[in-house]
Amino acid sequence: MPTEFETYSAELAIIRRDRRRSFLLLFVTPLAAFLTEIASGLSRTNLQWVMAVLLLAGFGGAFAYGVKFSWSRCPRCRNQFFMKGILRSNGFARKCVHCGLPLS
Ligand SMILES: [Zn+2]
């Protein structure tokens, strides 16, 4: 008989993946923009359009994954995993804020 975590592991893996991608894009995008700025300074070329595309894609992706993971539903209780109501949310929570199902 599978344990409770094994029963919901596929859906929990999707939530973990989206959260990891959102945080990764959030922290890597400024670093990539900074490196682009350094590269444009060294080669004396205008790379503003590259940086604009980089920032829009990076922060846009972080926002999209952030909305997706923060609005995701708990596989056990079907409430929102990280949110209680509209104003009370915790994106760093390691378990469901409603039923306590651990994320990993
Ligand atoms: Zn739950």
**Does 102 reside within a domain?**
no
Handedness of CA 88, 89, 93, 98 (dihedral sign): positive
- pLDDT tens digit string along 70-93? 999 999 999 999 999 888 888 888
CA of 92 to the centre of ligand 1 (A): 15
**Does 10 reside within a domain?**
yes
**Does 30 reside within a domain?**
yes
What are 72's two structure tokens? 């995701």
**Does 59 reside within a domain?**
yes
What's the number of domains the chain is made of? 1
**Does 14 reside within a domain?**
yes
**Does 104 reside within a domain?**
no
Q: b/e per residue, 12-34, with b = 16+ CB within 10 A? A: beebeebbebbbebbeebeebbe
Q: Which domain, by its residues, includes 41?
A: 4-89
Evaluate whether 47 touches 101 at the Cβ level (below 8 Å): no
**Does 17 reside within a domain?**
yes
Work out the pLDDT band at 66, boundaries 50, 70, 90: very high
CA of 82 to the centre of ligand 1 (A): 9
CA of 81 to the centre of ligand 1 (A): 6
